[in-house]
Structure 1
Amino acid sequence: MDNATAVTFKMTPYESMDKYKHGMFCVFFLLYLTAIVLNSLFISVIHLNPELHQPMNVFACMLSINEIYGSTALLPAVMVILMSNTREISVKWCIAQVYFLHTYAGGEFCVLALMGYDRYVAICYPLHYHSKMSKSKICKLIALAGLYTLIVFGCYYSLTLQLSFCGKVIAKLYCVNMELVKTSCSTAPYISIVGLVILPFFIVPQLVMILFSYAKIAKVCSKLTKEAQIKAVKTCIPHLLSLLNYSIGSLFEIIHTRFEMNRVSVEARSFLSLYFIIIPPILNPVLYGIGTQIVRVYMLKLFVKYKILPKKLAV
């Protein structure tokens, strides 16, 4: 890769935030701190209580670990550039940011697909759930999800590393692969063709697994009593909300990157582009932690143990 044509990229959206950059810095810092605290708390509660080492909680912990990774890879850099005078990012760090951001996004979708599969097994094969979702199988599924993300995006990313860059402006708060392609002065057609071939592998298998799981769940639920249907649906609600939230954020990101949005204010575009890296990391530990009764009880016990809450509140 030849970076001689461009040493840094100018991040233009930050210019519109100059008048209130200190306020935005505080907002980003509080959101980042909230995401880190909530996810760390959730992971700690699950880790410290063997009774909570159920497959769905393990997958939820992996989701939290991935969200700490994604938030830490992006938000501190956003805050640094926001407070800088140049509003620039080096080409090397921009390329690294692309790697962090896309592996976060791919890992998130893979874990959500595994969580959908877990709900499928729990509802369709309740008597065989623990044998089908054994510890060894869970470890293999998590390892497969991680390797799949790294291998598929690694193939896609290897094309990005071959690019040279003539453009010096990126119209986003952070670097994504499409923005690097837009600034590239490389015209080799095979890069675009191979990229288009690889891209579906980053999305389609997980989507198929989720659709298959919920199709089977719907079929089984149609044969259950009304009470059993309500119980089954309740166990799926946190996952469906997480999936919907992540999908909305990803859709915002795709629209912002690939389409002109001149009619939308820069501030609104900036928030929408950060949605998938801020809202899911805050919402998911709430859904699987505070939103789950048994986990909530153990959280209260942890607070009482360290004298954060009075004992009567944990009853």
Structure 2
Amino acid sequence: MDNVSVVTFFILSGLNETNDYKVTLFTFTLLYYCMILFLNISIIIIIILDQNLHEPMYILLCSCCINGLYGSTGFYPKFLLDLFSSSQQISYEWCLLQALVMNSFVCCEVSILAVMAYDRYLAICRPLHYQSVMTKRKVSQLICFSWFTPFCIFSINILLTSRLRLCGVNIDRLHCVNWVIVQLACYQSDTFSINVTAHFTMTIYFSHGLFIIWTYMHLIRTCAKSKDDRVKFMQTCVPHLVSLVTFIVVVLFDLMHMRFGSTDLPRSLQNFINIEFLLIPPVMNPVIYGFKLTKIRNRILCFFPRKKLPPLS
């Protein structure tokens, strides 16, 4: 078939300048990945085991941590192997799979953050309707939507990409991304359907962003009227807002660099921009929620018994 690619592997050239400090990079990366696993799994286990945390906000946080594990595992194990490989090759099939994981991870995170914003909007702006709206069934449906929709959209994108004839194997990054693979197409006219689905996807998740802005406009307006609501906003909305802003900023940096970035930047800086969405959110989310949300913080502190003071004489 004429439209089937003959490419059987790709070369990830982002590691070309790391030969002098691969051992150091491997050590720190392994420790960092272990920290991601420990923090996210700890939050997940605490929420699952504690019946008092079986509330929509904490269930959504659990889903957010699972997504952090999903995205991180799609990158770090392969990256660690590449550090001690003579050539940073990845098979055609595994590259498409990694592209699917990376893209669906990002969009799933946006969907979960949008659902969390909706949850906070109901809890603060519509407290009388909260219990009747955010039922266990509704929360389950929203979480399934957050996971299923990005996976289906990017499965279609990856399927369309797999039908392209490619005229290159070099990917100037540390991991595979669908847009970069598409840029290797021999004929850009063949990418029309992919561009259409890409713009459709961007429209969907841009609307998620508009929805989040709308919810926070109402949240801020409501919380400005009541001291109790301001306290609730600081306790539950600020962690979400910090997580949201951080994730959007790091993803936009990567998108802007991928589309319009200069190749004159130092390789180390380009690599950092390309993977910062895999560096910051997977660690920041469990840390900021673990310290800011009172129930989770108290549950964590239970594992560290207080030292008893000697009796007064």
Structure 2 length-normalised TM: 0.91
Displacement after TM superposition at 1:154 (Å) = 2.8
Give the partner amino acid of 1:122. A
Asked whether the 8 Å contact 1:35–1:68 carries over to 2, the reply is: yes
Residue 217, structure 1, aligned to residue 219, structure 2:
yes
Give the partner amino acid of 1:17. T
Give the partner amino acid of 1:312. K
Judged with a 3 Å threshold, the aligned counterparts in structure 2 of structure 1 residues 167 and 152 are, in CA distance, closer, same or farther, namely same
> Take 1:108 and 1:116, find their aligned partners in 2: how far apart are those partners?
12
Which runs of at least 4 in structure 1 moved beyond 6 Å after TM superposition?
A: none
Residue 9, structure 1, aligned to residue 10, structure 2:
yes
Give the partner amino acid of 2:183. K
What CA deviation, in whole Å up to 9, does each residue of 1:164-200 have, x standing for no partner? 2111211100110111011121432532542344232
Residue number among 299, 307, 310 corresponding to 1:312 in the alignment: 307
Q: Residue in 2 aligned with 1:147?
A: 148
Asked whether the 8 Å contact 1:124–1:216 carries over to 2, the reply is: yes
Cα RMSD between the aligned structures? 1.9
Q: Residue in 2 aligned with 1:88?
A: 89
Residue 68, structure 1, aligned to residue 82, structure 2:
no
- Single out whichever of 15-24 and 181-190 deviates more from structure 2: 181-190
> Take 1:158 and 1:172, find their aligned partners in 2: how far apart are those partners?
21
> Take 1:195 and 1:184, find their aligned partners in 2: how far apart are those partners?
16
Asked whether the 8 Å contact 2:11–2:170 carries over to 1, the reply is: yes
> Take 1:288 and 1:191, find their aligned partners in 2: how far apart are those partners?
40
> Take 1:129 and 1:84, find their aligned partners in 2: how far apart are those partners?
53
Q: Residue in 1 aligned with 2:311?
A: none
> Take 2:57 and 2:306, find their aligned partners in 1: how far apart are those partners?
29
Q: Count residues in correspondence.
A: 305
Question: What SS class does the counterpart of residue 183 from structure 1 fall into?
Answer: coil
Asked whether the 8 Å contact 2:164–2:190 carries over to 1, the reply is: no
Give me the identity figure in percent.
32
In the alignment, structure 1 segments of 5+ residues that lack a partner are 304-308
Q: Residue in 1 aligned with 2:42?
A: 41
1:89-238 to structure 2, matched below 5 A, reads 89-186=90-187, 187-188=189-190, 190-222=192-224, 224-226=225-227, 228-238=229-239
Asked whether the 8 Å contact 2:65–2:285 carries over to 1, the reply is: yes
> Take 2:198 and 2:101, find their aligned partners in 1: how far apart are those partners?
20
Q: Residue in 2 aligned with 1:265?
A: 266
Asked whether the 8 Å contact 2:12–2:175 carries over to 1, the reply is: yes
Asked whether the 8 Å contact 2:11–2:89 carries over to 1, the reply is: yes
> Take 1:136 and 1:226, find their aligned partners in 2: how far apart are those partners?
32
Q: Residue in 2 aligned with 1:306?
A: none
Judged with a 3 Å threshold, the aligned counterparts in structure 2 of structure 1 residues 43 and 166 are, in CA distance, closer, same or farther, namely same
- Single out whichever of 48-57 and 190-199 deviates more from structure 2: 190-199
Question: What SS class does the counterpart of residue 188 from structure 1 fall into?
Answer: helix
